[in-house]
């Protein structure tokens, strides 16, 4: 299975290595560097690279390449999924998964990696078990540790590893028992030039933050579970209950976790919250172009659209932009050729508009394609699919928890072709 | 990173803290420094470090002034660390030797940081290894990390630590035992192989499943260290495979895959258990198990698509066929197709598919992919579709996941296009996708293209062509080309579109279009000479070599279509020949040669010129080609025989290229595997075997004796109970683990399962005794024996009884007693009945009551066996019970596999009652007959698959009182195990729309050896679709399905002949189905015909009411029989007429509004009558 892991930053520095079997020289990464160079963009590095004796499977996350070395046949997704789990664990432990935090906590990172894999096969990947084994650093604890020399390794042995509910540790206690559920939906859509929907679907997740004492057994039911035609669950959810009753029944992990994700496919009608009127044109002569973008509300279910941002990946020949925004601010980065127009709240009475001229590199032919617009937005208190949580019941414990549900709609990969 | 840098990153006060700590040690360093001479000290160090560190040092040195700074007072901090580096290991050693845990910890942390950065810390080994027994748990852990990293290099020193681990292996705490084993097996030191082996063996039978899991992990480690241990390790694997806990399952299968993936025979006995445990195994284990089971299933089961796949292959071949060879293949393949028997899926195969399905909902992409590939490789074609949705969902995940999933979808979409068609739009491309994803999506879109969706896809492609990403544009053009070749309707459209692209400003686009157009034109060159002309004009503007070469090739190949332009092009090319790329030069030579052959008048000189240029080219390929062509085309006296054929050689008709996906046929690799992704065999890849021609013996998977009996210690059992899978509350699927419960409540529970498997010998009444006697025997042997036994029952039985009564337990005896009473009763009943009805026709009088049919056999049998009827009543009773083994349908004592006697049947059917009533007001007596003969029993669950629970059902033909629209199905449960079965009930009916089930009341307890009969109602909606549901006991679930014969979907209706004719008049035309038939030999008299019809369908005879007919006692020469009934669910009339003619011929007419029922009924009755 996974033989070794190398962490490489965006600049190509190898800053951490870990071997689970015998040591493999870091020179194996040269093949990776070669591929990296060829790919130009980090996104385009092939996830699986073949070398004469090994296979390199890598992921790119938070500007770090996680490069794992494989020697024999293994499902590639197995490794990829595991590497992402590693990155998530780092994020969980250190707040963010970046080169600096990893370097700062190199010992904890090493201890974590040691526990997560045994001989290259995943051993403990549940964050709740890991947290029992190795305590995540907090500012206070790192201070205390430096002073007293005490350790961040758990004194107790990880009993969670032995239980049948490996995701929850025993003996959880809170004074305020609360459970929050965030229903977050993202709209993935492609709109064409005329504004008609080419493709649209909704990706939803239910993020939970459960801080309940003891061993609560929760069940969450929806007003309209029929909407959910394709779901995937955290391992704590009982499949059978869902299949027969359409109720999500589970013993929650402690703290934050993603309870489920769902997908409402293109077959259903998806409400598109905004429309975009745009006119971008480049002129053959005078090396310039014009741009005029207006954004307006479409189907917002009476809610306000917030955090509206329009991002445009301009063609290479666009040197600068001289624009005028009626609302919000715009910024054009001539290096990355990305124009970002941060609008903020959408006011239906006075539609925001961005208008002006673009100057192009002189002599270069005018770009053939108009850049597509990527929209980002947020609507509070609304799940665009119409999904509604009906009730949350708790069994197994006596106290009365505080329960809260929040709905948010965001734009996912929302693109307008021009 | 140097220590200094590390220090700088700590909070300021922390730095001070550490400094003060280090201050102490530095003081000591200074004291030591005289020992190290300034020259030798660093020198030694240089030898020790790796070159990389040297580089670091040098770069740091230039900044800080290098070693010269050593003497300077008041050094800066960075320099201190730099300068102290040579001594650092010493100070680490000191820290490790100190007796303060905090110092040790600090030292270990620094060492681990060094390891993490890939620096060498091996010289600290002696100092570190001493701390292996340290009390501080973190120090200990870090020492382990160090040991595992360096033990291989320092084997001798590593041995110092072994005793600590050996002590750890004996620790009462399971977690310490586990971690000791983990480290012990991870330090790759060959000398300790025997110790490792011993430790693994011991841990494999540890009572803690966590330790056993660790043992499973240790197996591949030892195997890679010393492959000679394989045989012993396989033994351990075999043992661990039998483990019942979810914790162990994943790890041991992993070990299996790594050590002995070819020992498929080890899986047999654990197959069902693995399937049942699967859902509770942790996610990584699930992936490994599913992949292994895919391979296993490929060796053990039959191809579920066996018939379809042949058809499909044939049709596909016909589509692509160009060779005659394939034609032959086809013929060869068609032959076995005809021979094949209808496919029946092995229940174990079904079990696997059923138990993996919910895992499609997993959050782990690897698990979803594993299930998807399992379905792709193993499921019947109709069921594969369910994976599409889950795979499309994965596309939302990280781009690496998308990449892998798309690769697999691309392969799948070639074989099963329909599966992904509904999700076409999910593969639309966004401008922000990475190029590699875009290209894969394009591949999938192309694979999905067909006549219906091609216009949408092409429209989509049009937007892609305008993209800024040029690689992607090139791929899009190729995709258009592929669509055009595959779908003839759009070829011209695509070609026009591509020609338009030729005027694109981007050269790459034009070049790619040229190449694709070239391929398209090859398919039908005649119609497109204008395009060739257009392209000839382009050659001046296009610089991309591949495109230029393509144009030249086209002109040369089709020079007769463009006779005027071609020589001109050659002239132009001759001018630029020297500056062209090699592939273009080769094509210029080709063009020249072809023109010379067709139009030598105009081009002779040009050709000579080009060949001369080529003769002196730098590239030897070009020189060779020129020489070769000159010899071939220019006739000289020396030129060989070949020159005659020059024209044939050059202007031969070239087959059009087939543009096909690079993913074609990739599915011979197991999907989702690394090998599939790379399209090459990766090391350690296990081939996915082909389906076997005939299924290997499925009985190898029958589990005989569960290992429970072995671990009997109370404590152990407790532990096991605690491990009951979490999900077990909602379903009993977790099978074996669960039976821990039954184990605790019945004393000898451990044997219950085995007993159930072995003793489930149908419904013999003497079963208990028999099974006990034969418990240790093999199944087959037993069957044989039973047959023999049957023959001799009469003689043998009493003896057997007497000898065995001692053995049998009290309860059994009681039971038998009860049974005997019951038997006696039913015997007397049947006796009286048969006597009372003796006046009538014998066969007429039989009611459906089971015991009666038994008596019937007895009647037939009695002449053969003992004669005196009265005195041997009891004995003959016994015999009849035995005889119930025989198939009662056709009154011939043929042994059947597992027939059952429904015990407490309600007496005669209501039908006969009704008819009895009708007798009073109509005239005729003997012609109305109750549907006679025994009722056919169908098997719902065989006792082997049911683990001792045998279930049979029959259609009792009683009206189902709770709901008259339902068909009553009588179900008989027989418990053949030695323990009670509890909570028999039905769950999760899966029905066609409109169908309903009225479940029977739950059976609380079915004690060993008992049978219970219940009645349930099913509304089949007048269709013969099967009703599927799960039959649940307190431990297990079984998949069951009831499919009604069409004749059971109706109930009798009483009609007079006039009514019948009236109704028949309304159901003419489409609703009437009429067939001619020849009656079977036995269908000579009236009542046989009537009996056959009523046995086939639940109908009642219409009295032949016309007074005239009835007044004449002898039946008319050509009698007509009429039967009437209505469908249970919708109440449509079903009218059947059989009119006999001379010579045994007859005409059968069925009138029914439901044509489907009518047709099926005609078929069934015809069959019954013509036998």
pLDDT tens track for B109-147: 888 888 888 888 888 888 888 888 787 778 888 888 888
Among B849, B845, B943, which residue's Cα sits nearest to residue B899? B943
Note whether B674 and A74 are within 8 A (CB). yes
Residue B638, pLDDT score = 64
CA distance B972 to B983: 15
B14 touches chain A (CB under 8 A): yes
The CATH class that applies to domain A274-380 reads mainly beta
* CA of residue B20 relative to chain centroid, distance: 64
Note whether A183 and A405 are within 8 A (CB). yes
Which is more confidently placed, B989 or A374?
Answer: A374
Among B83, B1, B95, B92, which residue's Cα sits nearest to residue B42? B83
Give just the sign of the alpha carbon dihedral B664, B665, B666, B670.
positive
Residue A160, pLDDT score = 54
What is the pLDDT of chain B when averaged over all its residues? 71
Residue B834, pLDDT score = 43
Whether domain A2-148 has CATH 3.30.450.60: the reply is yes
Q: Which of B11, B18, B432 sits opposite A374 (nearest CB)?
A: B432
Residue B177, pLDDT score = 87
Among B806, B818, B739, B807, which residue's Cα sits nearest to residue B977? B739
HSE, side-chain direction, 13 A CA sphere, residue B1142 = 1
In order, the DSSP letters of B81-114 are HHHHHHHHHHHHHHHHHSS-HHHHHHHHHHHHHH
Q: Domain ranges in chain A?
A: 2-148, 178-270+384-416, 274-380
Is residue B577 classed as helix, strand or coil in its secondary structure?
helix
Among A342, A318, A321, A320, which residue's Cα sits nearest to residue A330? A342
CA distance B69 to A218: 67
- Cα nearest neighbour of B386 on chain A: A230
3-state percent helix, strand, coil for chain A, nearest multiple of 5: 20, 40, 40
CA distance A84 to B402: 13
Express each pLDDT in B299-310 by its tens digit.
888 888 876 655
Q: Give B228's contacts (C-beta < 8 A, 6+ positions apart).
A: none
Note whether B1036 and B987 are within 8 A (CB). no
CA distance A25 to A29: 9
Express each pLDDT in A68-116 by its tens digit.
999 888 999 999 999 999 999 998 888 888 888 898 888 889 888 988 8
Cβ <8 Å between A60 and B400: yes
Tell me if domain A178-270+384-416 and domain A274-380 are identical in fold. yes
Residue A137's alpha-carbon distances to A152, A209, A321, B102, in angstroms, are: 7, 20, 46, 17
CA distance B673 to A322: 52
| Angle in degrees, CA B404, B409, B411, rounded to 5 | 100
A257 touches chain B (CB under 8 A): no
Residue A261's alpha-carbon distances to A183, A393, B40, in angstroms, are: 9, 20, 65
In order, the DSSP letters of A7-71 are EEETTS-EEEEEESSS---GGGHHHHHHHHHHHSSGGGS-SEEE-SS-EEEEEEETTEEEEEEE-
Residue B49, pLDDT score = 38
Express each pLDDT in B34-57 by its tens digit.
333 334 333 344 343 344 444 444
Q: What is the 3-state secondary structure (H, E, C) of B632-655?
A: HHCCCCCCCHHHHHHHHHHCCCCC
Whether domain A178-270+384-416 has CATH 2.60.40.1170: the reply is yes
Which is more confidently placed, B698 or B741?
Answer: B698
DSSP character at residue B540: T
CB count in 10 Å sphere of residue B401? 23
Report residue A233 as tokens: 């669950």
For the residues B387-394, what does the mean pLDDT come to?
A: 89
β B1133-1140/B1145-1152 pair status: antiparallel
Name the least confident of A403-407, B196-200, B1077-1081. Answer: B1077-1081
Among B348, B357, B259, B343, which residue's Cα sits nearest to residue B297? B348
Residue B370, pLDDT score = 94
The torsion of the CA quartet B333, B336, B337, B341, rounded to 10 degrees, works out to -160
Q: What are phi and psi of B1049, to 5 degrees?
A: -90, 10
pLDDT of B376 strictly over 70: yes
Cβ <8 Å between A107 and B109: yes
For the residues B749-759, what does the mean pLDDT come to?
A: 40
Residue A76, pLDDT score = 92
pLDDT of B492 strictly over 70: yes
Report residue B125 as tokens: 């080994």
For the residues B262-281, what does the mean pLDDT come to?
A: 88
Domains in chain B and their CATH numbers?
90-291 (1.25.10.10), 563-651 (no CATH), 937-1044 (2.60.40.1150), 1049-1104+1115-1170 (3.30.310.10)
Express each pLDDT in B944-996 by its tens digit.
777 778 888 888 787 777 777 888 888 888 888 777 778 888 877 777 767 88
Which is more confidently placed, B1048 or B799?
Answer: B1048
Cβ <8 Å between B141 and A110: no
Among B293, B399, B430, which residue's Cα sits nearest to residue B348? B293
Residue A183, pLDDT score = 93
Express each pLDDT in A142-153 by its tens digit.
566 555 555 555
Residue B876, pLDDT score = 44
Note whether A386 and A348 are within 8 A (CB). no
Instruction: Please name every residue paired with A310 in a beta bridge, in sequence order, or none if there are none.
Output: A341, A375
Stated pTM of the model: 0.65
Note whether A272 and A266 are within 8 A (CB). no
In order, the DSSP letters of B607-638 are HHHHHHHHHT-S-HHHHHHHHHHHHHHS--SS
Percent of chain B with pLDDT over 90: 6
B173 touches chain A (CB under 8 A): yes
Terminal-to-terminal C-alpha distance of chain B = 93
Express each pLDDT in A223-246 by its tens digit.
888 888 788 888 888 888 888 888
Q: Give B729's contacts (C-beta < 8 A, 6+ positions apart).
A: A238
CA distance B141 to B668: 45
Express each pLDDT in A193-234 by its tens digit.
888 888 888 889 999 999 888 888 999 999 888 888 788 888
Banded model confidence at residue B375, pLDDT cuts 50, 70, 90: very high
Residue B407, pLDDT score = 92
Q: Which residue do the tokens 């002196």 mark? A: B616
CA distance A49 to chain B (A): 9
Q: Which of B12, B281, B674 to mutate against chain A (most A CBs within 10 Å)? A: B674
0.95 surpassed by complex ipTM = no
Express each pLDDT in B524-541 by its tens digit.
766 777 788 888 887 887
In order, the DSSP letters of B113-147 are HHHHTT---GGGHHHHHGGGG-SSHHHHHHHHHHH
- Residues 43-62 of chain A with CB under 8 A from chain B are 43-44, 46-48, 50, 55, 58-61
Terminal-to-terminal C-alpha distance of chain A = 46
Any alpha helices (H) in A95-224, and if so which ranges? Answer: 99-104, 106-116, 127-133, 139-148
CA distance B303 to B691: 6
CA distance B291 to chain A (A): 9
Q: Which of A142, A229, A233 sits opposite B363 (nearest CB)?
A: A233
pLDDT of B371 strictly over 90: yes
- The dihedral region occupied by B994, where left means phi > 0, alpha psi between -120 and 50, and beta the remainder, is left
For the residues B580-599, what does the mean pLDDT come to?
A: 87
Is residue B366 classed as helix, strand or coil in its secondary structure?
helix
For the residues B1046-1050, what does the mean pLDDT come to?
A: 84
Express each pLDDT in B722-737 by its tens digit.
444 444 444 434 334 3
CB neighbour burial string for B788-818, b if at least 16 within 10 angstroms, e if fewer: ebbeebbeebeebeeebeeebeeebeebbee
CA distance A178 to chain B (A): 24
Count A/B contacts: CB-CB distance under 8 Å. Answer: 278
Banded model confidence at residue B1161, pLDDT cuts 50, 70, 90: confident
β A402-416/A178-191 pair status: parallel
Cβ <8 Å between B284 and A125: yes
């Amino acid at each position: 299975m996974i033989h070794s892991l190398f962490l490489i930053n965006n600049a190509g520095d190898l800053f951490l290595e870990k071997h689970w079997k015998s040591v493999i020289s870091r020179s194996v990464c040269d093949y990776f560097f070669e591929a990296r160079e060829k790919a130009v963009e980090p996104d385009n590095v092939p996830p699986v690279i073949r070398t004469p004796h090994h296979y390199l499977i890598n992921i790119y996350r938070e500007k770090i390449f996680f490069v794992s070395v494989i020697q024999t046949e293994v499902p590639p997704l197995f490794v990829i999924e595991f590497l992402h789990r590693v990155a998530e664990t780092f994020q969980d432990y250190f707040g963010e998964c970046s080169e600096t935090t990893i370097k700062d906590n190199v010992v904890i990172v090493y201890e974590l990696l040691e526990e997560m894999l045994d001989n290259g096969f995943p051993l403990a990947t549940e964050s709740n078990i890991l947290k029992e084994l190795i305590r995540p650093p907090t500012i206070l604890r790192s201070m205390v540790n430096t002073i007293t020399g005490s350790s961040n390794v758990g004194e107790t042995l990880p009993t969670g590893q032995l239980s049948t509910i490996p995701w929850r540790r025993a003996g959880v206690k809170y004074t305020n028992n609360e459970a929050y559920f965030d229903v977050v939906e993202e709209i993935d859509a492609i709109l064409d030039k005329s504004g008609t929907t080419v493709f649209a679907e909704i990706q939803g997740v239910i993020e939970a933050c459960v801080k309940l004492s003891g061993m609560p057994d929760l069940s969450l039911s929806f007003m309209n579970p029929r909407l959910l035609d394709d779901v995937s669950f955290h391992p704590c959810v009982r499949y059978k209950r869902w299949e027969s009753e359409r109720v999500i029944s589970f013993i929650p992990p402690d703290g934050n976790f993603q309870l489920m994700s769902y997908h409402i496919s293109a077959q259903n009608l998806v409400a598109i919250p905004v429309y975009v009127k745009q006119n971008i044109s480049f002129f053959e002569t005078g090396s310039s172009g014009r741009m005029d973008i207006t954004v307006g509300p479409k189907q917002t279910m009476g809610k306000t659209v917030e955090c509206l941002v329009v991002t445009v990946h301009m063609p290479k020949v666009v040197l600068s932009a001289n624009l005028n925004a009626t609302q919000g601010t715009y910024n054009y980065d001539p290096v990355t050729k990305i124009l970002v127009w941060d609008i903020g709240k959408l006011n239906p009475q006075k539609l925001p508009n961005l208008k002006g001229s673009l100057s192009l590199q002189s002599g270069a032919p005018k770009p053939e394609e108009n850049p597509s617009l990527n929209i980002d937005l947020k609507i509070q208190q609304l799940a665009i699919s119409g999904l509604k949580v009906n009730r949350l019941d708790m069994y197994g414990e006596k106290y009365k928890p505080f329960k809260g549900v929040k709905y948010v709609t965001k734009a996912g990969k929302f693109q307008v072709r021009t | 990173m140097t220590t200094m840098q590390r220090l700088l990153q700590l909070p300021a006060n922390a730095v001070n803290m550490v400094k003060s700590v280090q201050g102490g040690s530095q003081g000591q360093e200074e004291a030591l420094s005289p020992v190290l001479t300034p020259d030798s000290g660093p020198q030694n160090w240089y030898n020790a470090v790796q070159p990389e560190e040297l580089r670091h040092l040098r770069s740091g040195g230039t900044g800080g002034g290098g070693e010269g700074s050593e003497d300077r007072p008041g050094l800066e901090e960075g320099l201190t660390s730099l300068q102290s580096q040579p001594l650092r290991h010493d100070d680490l050693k000191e820290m490790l030797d100190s007796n303060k845990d905090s110092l040790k910890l600090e030292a270990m942390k620094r060492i681990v940081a060094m390891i993490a950065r890939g620096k060498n810390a091996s010289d600290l080994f002696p100092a570190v290894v001493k701390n292996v027994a340290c009390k501080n748990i973190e120090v200990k852990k870090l020492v382990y990390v160090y040991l595992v990293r360096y033990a291989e290099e320092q084997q001798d020193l590593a041995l110092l630590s072994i005793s600590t681990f050996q002590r750890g292996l004996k620790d009462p705490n399971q977690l310490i035992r586990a971690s000791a084993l983990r480290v012990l097996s991870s330090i790759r030191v060959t000398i300790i192989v025997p110790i490792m082996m011993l430790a693994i063996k011991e841990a494999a039978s540890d009572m803690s499943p966590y330790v056993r899991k660790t043992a499973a992990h240790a197996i591949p480690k030892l195997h890679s260290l010393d492959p000679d241990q394989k045989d012993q390790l396989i033994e351990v694997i075999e043992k661990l495979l039998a483990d019942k806990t979810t914790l162990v399952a994943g790890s041991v299968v992993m070990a299996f895959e790594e050590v002995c993936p070819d020992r498929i025979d080890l899986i047999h006995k654990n197959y069902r258990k693995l399937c049942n445990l699967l859902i509770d195994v942790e996610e990584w284990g699930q992936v490994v198990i599913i992949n292994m089971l895919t391979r296993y299933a490929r060796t053990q089961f039959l191809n579920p698509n066996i018939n379809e796949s042949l058809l499909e292959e044939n049709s596909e071949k016909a589509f692509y066929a160009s060779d005659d060879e394939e034609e032959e293949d086809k013929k060869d393949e068609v032959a076995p197709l005809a021979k094949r028997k209808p496919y029946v899926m092995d229940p174990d195969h079904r079990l696997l598919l059923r138990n993996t399905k919910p895992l499609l909902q997993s959050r782990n992409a690897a698990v979803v992919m594993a299930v998807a590939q399992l379905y792709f490789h193993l499921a019947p074609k109709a069921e594969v579709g369910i994976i599409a949705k889950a795979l499309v969902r994965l596309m939302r995940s990280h781009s690496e996941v998308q990449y892998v999933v798309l690769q697999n979808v691309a392969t799948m979409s070639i074989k099963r296009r329909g599966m992904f068609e509904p999700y076409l739009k999910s593969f639309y491309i966004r401008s922000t996708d990475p190029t590699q994803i875009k290209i894969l999506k394009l591949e999938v879109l192309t694979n999905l293209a067909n006549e219906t969706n091609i216009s949408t896809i092409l429209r989509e492609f049009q937007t892609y062509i305008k993209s800024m990403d040029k690689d992607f544009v090139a791929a899009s053009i190729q995709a258009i080309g592929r669509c055009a070749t595959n779908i003839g309707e759009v070829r011209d459209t695509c070609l026009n579109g591509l020609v338009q692209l030729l005027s694109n400003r981007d050269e790459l686009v034009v070049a790619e279009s040229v190449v694709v157009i070239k391929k398209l034109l090859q398919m039908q060159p005649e119609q497109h000479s204008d395009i060739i002309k257009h392209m000839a004009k382009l050659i001046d503007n296009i610089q991309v070599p591949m495109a230029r070469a393509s144009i030249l090739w086209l002109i040369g190949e089709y020079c007769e279509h463009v006779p005027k332009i071609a020589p001109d092009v050659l002239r132009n090319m001759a001018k630029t020949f020297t500056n062209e790329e090699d592939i273009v030069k080769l094509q210029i030579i080709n063009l020249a040669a072809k023109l010379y052959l067709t139009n030598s008048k105009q081009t002779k000189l040009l050709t000579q010129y080009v060949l001369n240029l080529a003769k002196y080219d730098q590239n030897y390929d070009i020189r060779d080609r020129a020489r070769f062509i000159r010899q071939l085309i220019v006739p000289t006296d020396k030129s060989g025989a070949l020159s005659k054929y020059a024209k044939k050689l050059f202007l031969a008709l070239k087959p059009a290229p087939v543009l096909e996906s690079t993913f074609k046929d990739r599915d011979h690799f197991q999907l989702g595997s690394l090998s599939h992704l790379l399209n090459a065999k990766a090391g350690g890849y296990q081939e996915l075997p082909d389906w076997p021609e005939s299924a290997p013996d499925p009985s190898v998977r029958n589990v005989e004796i569960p290992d429970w009996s072995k671990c009997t210690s109370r404590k152990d059992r407790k532990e096991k109970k605690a491990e009951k899978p979490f999900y077990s509350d909602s379903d009993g699927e977790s099978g074996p683990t669960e039976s821990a419960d039954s184990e605790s409540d019945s004393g000898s529970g451990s044997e219950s399962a085995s007993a159930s498997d072995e003793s489930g010998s149908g419904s013999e009444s003497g079963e208990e005794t028999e099974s006990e006697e034969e418990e240790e025997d093999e199944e087959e042997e037993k069957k044989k024996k039973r047959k023999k036994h049957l023959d001799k029952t009469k003689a043998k039985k009493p003896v057997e009884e007497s000898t065995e009564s001692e053995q049998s337990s009290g309860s059994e005896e009681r039971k038998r007693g009860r049974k005997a009473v019951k038997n006696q009763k039913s015997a007397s009943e049947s006796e009286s009945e048969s006597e009372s009805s003796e006046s009538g026709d014998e066969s007429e009088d039989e009611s459906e009551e089971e015991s009666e049919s038994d008596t019937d056999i007895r009647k037939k049998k009695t002449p053969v066996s003992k004669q005196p009827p009265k005195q041997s009543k009891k004995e003959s009773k016994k015999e009849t019970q035995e005889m119930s083994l025989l198939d009662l349908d056709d009154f011939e004592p043929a042994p059947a596999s597992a027939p059952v006697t429904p015990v407490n049947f309600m007496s005669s059917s209501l039908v006969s009652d009704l008819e009895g009533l009708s007798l009073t007001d109509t005239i005729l007596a003997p012609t109305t007959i109750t549907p006679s003969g025994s009722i056919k029993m169908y098997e719902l669950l065989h006792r082997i698959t049911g683990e001792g629970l045998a279930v049979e059902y029959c259609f009792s033909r009683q009206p189902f009182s709770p709901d008259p629209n339902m068909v009553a199905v009588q179900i008989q449960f027989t418990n053949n195990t030695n323990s009670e079965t509890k909570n028999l009930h039905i769950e999760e009916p899966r029905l066609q729309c409109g169908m309903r089930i009225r479940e029977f009341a739950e059976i609380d307890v079915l004690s060993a050896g008992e049978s219970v009969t219940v009645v349930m109602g099913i509304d089949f909606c007048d269709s013969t679709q099967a009703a599927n549901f799960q039959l649940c006991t307190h431990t297990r679930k079984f998949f069951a399905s009831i499919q009604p014969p069409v004749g059971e979907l109706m109930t009798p209706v009483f009609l007079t002949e006039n009514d019948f004719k009236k109704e028949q008049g309304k159901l003419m035309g489409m609703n009437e189905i009429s067939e001619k038939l020849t009656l079977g030999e036995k269908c000579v008299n009236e009542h046989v015909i009537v009996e056959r019809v009523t046995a086939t369908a639940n109908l009642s005879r219409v009295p032949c009411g016309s007074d005239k007919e009835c007044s004449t006692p002898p039946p008319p020469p050509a009698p007509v029989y009429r039967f009437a009934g209505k469908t249970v669910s919708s109440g449509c009339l079903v009218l059947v007429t059989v009119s006999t003619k001379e010579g045994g011929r007859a005409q059968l007419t069925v009138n029914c509004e439901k044509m489907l029922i009518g047709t099926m009924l005609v078929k069934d009755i015809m069959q019954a009558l013509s036998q």
